[in-house]
Structure 1
Amino acid sequence: MSAKKTSISIVLLYLAVYLSPLLVSSFSQQVVITASTIAYILGAVLMIILYFRDKQPTLVEKEGKLSSPVFILLLGISGILIAIFLQAIIMGIQTAITNTEPSSENTESIISIIVDNKLFILATVIGGPIMEEFVFRRSLTDLFTFEKTGFWPAALISSALFSIIHFDGNFFVYFFLGLFFSILYKLTGKIWTSVISHCGMNTLVVVVQLIVHYGIVEIPK
């Protein structure tokens, strides 16, 4: 299977997983959440299988310079803190411009679901970010990258779509996070770099939010 065909297959798989809750929408919320979690994990596993079956590297992967496991781990792990820092900066700038309290409806909704159904944490810190990296960083970047236009237009388009799909009021936060993950992917030519950073960032955010939610640590107002 060619890289382009694999990219299309992964995007279609993501859409199927994304829309799968509609199949059980008539059932209770617990059933919908459980089904969504299973779908996210299964979707991530299938994307990984498609990735390893694809013998053809994308244009970005061919140009990756820091492709050794050492750089993948170093950039992936350091990218966790950089992503958190970047998120805070963009949120701060947005707050200063709009003069509104910083908030994320997407994050608040996810934490609310996790509190009611602990299993959903697997979708949030593993299944979801893995799928998003394979779709928005590898597949869409591959589909929008051409030899004449190169990496950057594709990265901008995929980052914009990454932000839009979150249905949040923080477009630029998600956009620049997406662009940052794209840069990690480009540097190493390995999708695992951005996967490590994205999964790590989501895990850190969820842990902190749950600590605050349960009153283990109180944030001064």
Structure 2
Amino acid sequence: MNIRYWWILITYVLMQLSAIPGTLLLMQMEVPFERIPGIWSIISFSLGLIIILFLLVPDMRNRHQVRGRSTRGEAVRWSIIGIFMVFAAQYAAALIEMYALGIEPGSENTEAIVEMAKAFPAFIFVVAIIGPILEEIVFRLIIFGALYKRFNFWIAGFVSSFIFAAIHFDFTHLLVYTAMGFVFAYLYVKTGRILVPILAHVALNLFVAVVNVLLADQLEDWVERLEEVQQTSLIIGGLL
């Protein structure tokens, strides 16, 4: 692994660790505590992305020399297919957790992110765009890529996906995150373009953000109305 990739990993780690001094700094500035995680994430993730993209400039210039690189048309097709693949993998892993392992659905990590987004809506941009870009660069392009040069797909995919799962600190649902990581790794190997798993990852996170944050109140209203309609139907049915 070349030195630039090591610097990318260091940048990513420092970005994550910066939450502690960043929180203390914003507290000194008397920023409302519930908004601090979202505000600092915008700052740290944006800065981290800029530094990492700068370090990747040589890779961008030489991207056309990559063997097995798919055409643009194939990349678009696999980006769309990949969205359905990652949703299917997540659903299948959740079913295994629920019925085989007895793990209840629902992610504490997702709930925490949703609360942060509600307190500071701009945080959605980190969740849906910046975060997926950074994670695919770090876990697929660099970690998986380095392992794939030495091992087969399954070993490289498992190790990189397990690290990807662990970094979310939602250890109850390691299987779900690992399954997602495998799909992203497959899309990267299949197309030779890191942009493809990035698009699939962005689509997944954007869907979760929209449903759980932007449409949360509307969905709750729809559920209540549906329950009222069902109750009314039962009453009418009983009278008839």
- Sequence identity percentage: 28
Higher normalized contact order (CA 8 Å, seq sep 6+, divided by chain length): 1
Deviation at 1:98, TM superposition (A): 3.0
Please name the residue that 2:166 is paired with.
Answer: 164
Structure 1 unaligned spans of 5+: none
| Partner SS state of residue 92, structure 1 | helix
- Partners of 1:76 and 1:45 in 2: CA distance: 24
Distance 1:166-1:30 versus aligned 2 partners, 3 A rule: same
CA distance in structure 1 between the aligned counterparts of 2:103 and 2:155, rounded to whole angstroms: 31
Pair member with larger Rg: 2
CA distance in 2 between partners of 1:8 and 1:56 (Å) = 19
Q: What's the counterpart of residue 52 of structure 2?
A: 47
- Partner residue in 2 for 1:143: 146
1:18-97 residue pairs with structure 2 within 5 A? 18-26=16-24, 27=27, 28-54=33-59, 62-65=66-69, 67-97=70-100
Q: CA deviation at 1:213?
A: 2.5
**Alpha-carbon separation, structure 2, partners of 1:98 and 1:162:** 21
After TM superposition, what 4+ stretches of structure 1 lie above 4 angstroms from structure 2? none
Kept after mapping to 2: 8 A contact 1:81/1:201: no
After superposition, residues 128-207 of structure 1 pair within 5 angstroms as: 128-147=131-150, 149-168=151-170, 169-207=172-210
Q: Which amino acid aligns with 1:9?
A: W
What SS does the corresponding residue of 1:214 show, helix, strand or coil? helix
1:142 shift after superposition: 2.6
Matched-pair contact (CA < 8 Å) for 1:7–1:142: no
Q: Which amino acid aligns with 1:36?
A: S
Q: 1:131-165: CA deviations, max 9, x gaps?
A: 00000001112332335x34432222111100111
Structure 2 length-normalised TM: 0.81
Q: Is the 8 A contact 2:85 2:183 kept in 1?
A: no
Q: Is the 8 A contact 1:7 1:140 kept in 2?
A: no
Maintained 8 Å contact 1:159/1:176:
yes
Runs (5+) with no aligned partner, structure 2: 28-32, 228-240
Greater CA drift, 196-205 or 76-85: 76-85
Contact 1:136 1:159 in 2 (8 A): yes
1:6 aligns with 2:4: yes
Contact 1:4 1:143 in 2 (8 A): no
Relative to 1, partners in 2 of residues 1:15 and 1:175: Cα closer, same or farther, differing over 3 Å?
Answer: same
**What is the rounded CA distance, in whole Å, between the counterparts of 1:123 and 1:8 in structure 2?**
23
Quote the Cα distance in structure 2 between the aligned partners of 1:184 and 1:40. 24
1:78/1:127 Cα in 2 relative to 1: closer, same or farther (>3 Å)? same
Q: Structure 2 CA distance, aligned partners of 1:211 and 1:63?
A: 41
Relative to 1, partners in 2 of residues 1:92 and 1:155: Cα closer, same or farther, differing over 3 Å?
Answer: same
Which has the larger share of helix? 2
Q: What RMSD in Å do the two structures reach over aligned CA positions?
A: 2.3
- CA contact 1:21–1:35 (8 Å) conserved in 2: yes
